[in-house]
A = this chain, B = another copy of it.
Amino acid sequence: MNSSLCFLLAAKRAELTELQRLAQSIALARSTAALVHELQRERGLSNLSVLQASLGQAPLEAQLQQQTQGTDQWVEQWLLESAALINAPSPHAAQLLSRVAYALQGLDALALLRSRVAAKALGTHSLSADYARLIASLLAVVFEAADRASAPELLRPLVALFNLMQGKEWAGQERAAGAALFASAQVQAHEQAHLIDLIEAQQRCLEVFESFASAALLQFWQERQRLQPLGERSRLRRLLLQAPAGGALEPTQSGAWFACCSQCMDEMRPVEDQLTQFLVDQAGACMALVAAEIEQLEQRQSGNWGAGGGLGSDTQRGSGFFDAASAAPPTLQSAPTGLAGGLEKSVLDLVQEQGQRLQAAAAEIETLRASLNERKLIERAKGLLMAHQQLDEPAAHKTLRELAMNQNKRMVDVAEAVLSMSHLLAPRR
């Protein structure tokens, strides 16, 4: 019996270790959200500066310099948080660490990007694409943290967080694309199509966010939405989208568009903040619960050993294992109470409860993960296209997007179709 108790304890300790790792990922996700926000502001100011210069206005050098300093503070913080992952690498962490390594390459290249912007060597299109690539590498870290979360009570808010951040990033790309379109003074059909893509992607992400957010967070989100200039943004979106191809746009609207998009994004930031704070608290609460359960089991173990009676009589030992079939088993609804009252329960009861609780958690996680799969399918289809067609990532993305537009399907449906043909698309030798 004691030896089952040892394994039960080891299982609980493994759970605690996993929660500690997850708490580290959550701390990193919190810093990532802050850093991405700063990078989005920096991209916005850089863009605006280039646009204003093109309209003959003074560039925003002082503001931009202040912003890069703000960004750099969060880069430092992010480097600290990510270093903590190295010191305690855990199995299953290979993918997260590999994402961090890639994001670091991006942050390493930030100085170069800034110097190119300062030298006016980049147009708004390349500039936006480079920042988007860097931000995508950071978002992938949050995605990975969510993908490996083993506790449903933490996976749920992590999925909400990733989708809020991704939705906000689509909003940032919409801001850049719309501002450039206004500034170009002329409507272009493919730019309109790109804007529609970004708006739809944004809406899908925010829908997922809303369906995964807690009631309290949802209320906070709705309050902040009232502060967003959504009416103004709709009006300007109509100007951009409803004009016929080749029609004229008023370049000075670029500033108004930029300001209202920025305000929308800024109002999303406190929601991210509240969500990441909730995640940190929730992770702490989960760890405390498991730690208390471990303590209870340890007491029971030492109690058993102290009592000396130890093994019990042979006719009694293990009778529960086979007789349990005839008694009512521990039901799932008793599981949430955890090991409370554990001292009165038999080890067999504890083992069965633990098994059922873990199984229920695994099942819930599998269901929750379905929402992460859409992104994975698209990433995988892109990988296949890159390998087979020798495309780079943006070109593979564009191919999928055009396939989707031509067939009037969603990206994820096209991705599934591509993957289903993978045997035809095997890498060329």
Contact A101/B18 with A7-B86, A314-B115 known, Cβ cut-off 8 Å: no
A162 to B14, CA, bound (A): 24
Residue of B8, B97, B314 touching A14 (CB-CB under 8 A)? B97
A318 to B82, CA, bound (A): 19
A225 at interface (Cβ–Cβ under 8 A)? no
Residue of B nearest to A19 (CB): B91
**A354→B98 contact, CB < 8 A:** yes
A363 at interface (Cβ–Cβ under 8 A)? yes
Question: Which chain B residues lie closer than 8 Å to A302 at the CB level?
Answer: none
Residue of B91, B105, B428 touching A18 (CB-CB under 8 A)? B91
Flag A319-357 by CB within 8 Å of B: 1 or 0 each.
111101111110111000000000000011001101110
Residue of B nearest to A87 (CB): B10
A278 at interface (Cβ–Cβ under 8 A)? no
Residue of B317, B329, B366, B386 touching A108 (CB-CB under 8 A)? B317
Residue of B nearest to A113 (CB): B322
Contact A95/B358 with A17-B90, A325-B129 known, Cβ cut-off 8 Å: yes
A321 to B102, CA, bound (A): 9
**B318→A105 contact, CB < 8 A:** yes
**A105→B360 contact, CB < 8 A:** no
Residue of B nearest to A111 (CB): B314
Residue of B11, B129, B332, B428 touching A386 (CB-CB under 8 A)? B332
Flag A187-200 by CB within 8 Å of B: 1 or 0 each.
00000000000000
Contact A332/B94 with A11-B101, A314-B112, A347-B105 known, Cβ cut-off 8 Å: no
A3 to B12, CA, bound (A): 34
A387 at interface (Cβ–Cβ under 8 A)? yes
Q: How many copies does the complex hold?
A: 2
Residue of B14, B82, B324 touching A92 (CB-CB under 8 A)? B14
**A14→B108 contact, CB < 8 A:** no
**A109→B321 contact, CB < 8 A:** yes
**A3→B104 contact, CB < 8 A:** yes
Question: Which chain B residues lie closer than 8 Å to A105 at the CB level?
Answer: 1, 4, 318, 320-321, 347-348, 351
A13 at interface (Cβ–Cβ under 8 A)? yes
Contact A111/B13 with A91-B18, A92-B92, A98-B354 known, Cβ cut-off 8 Å: no
**B90→A90 contact, CB < 8 A:** yes
Flag A9-44 by CB within 8 Å of B: 1 or 0 each.
011111101100100000000000000000000000
Residue of B nearest to A396 (CB): B329
A317 to B105, CA, bound (A): 9
Question: Which chain B residues lie closer than 8 Å to A366 at the CB level?
Answer: 376
A255 at interface (Cβ–Cβ under 8 A)? no
A390 at interface (Cβ–Cβ under 8 A)? yes
Ordered nearest first, which 10 A-B pairs have the shortest CB separation?
A: A109-B318, A18-B91, A11-B97, A7-B101, A332-B387, A109-B321, A333-B427, A108-B318, A14-B93, A14-B89
What are some 18 contacts across the A-B interface (CB < 8 A)?
A3-B104, A4-B105, A7-B82, A8-B98, A8-B101, A11-B94, A14-B91, A18-B94, A90-B90, A98-B355, A101-B351, A102-B355, A105-B320, A106-B318, A108-B317, A109-B322, A112-B318, A359-B379
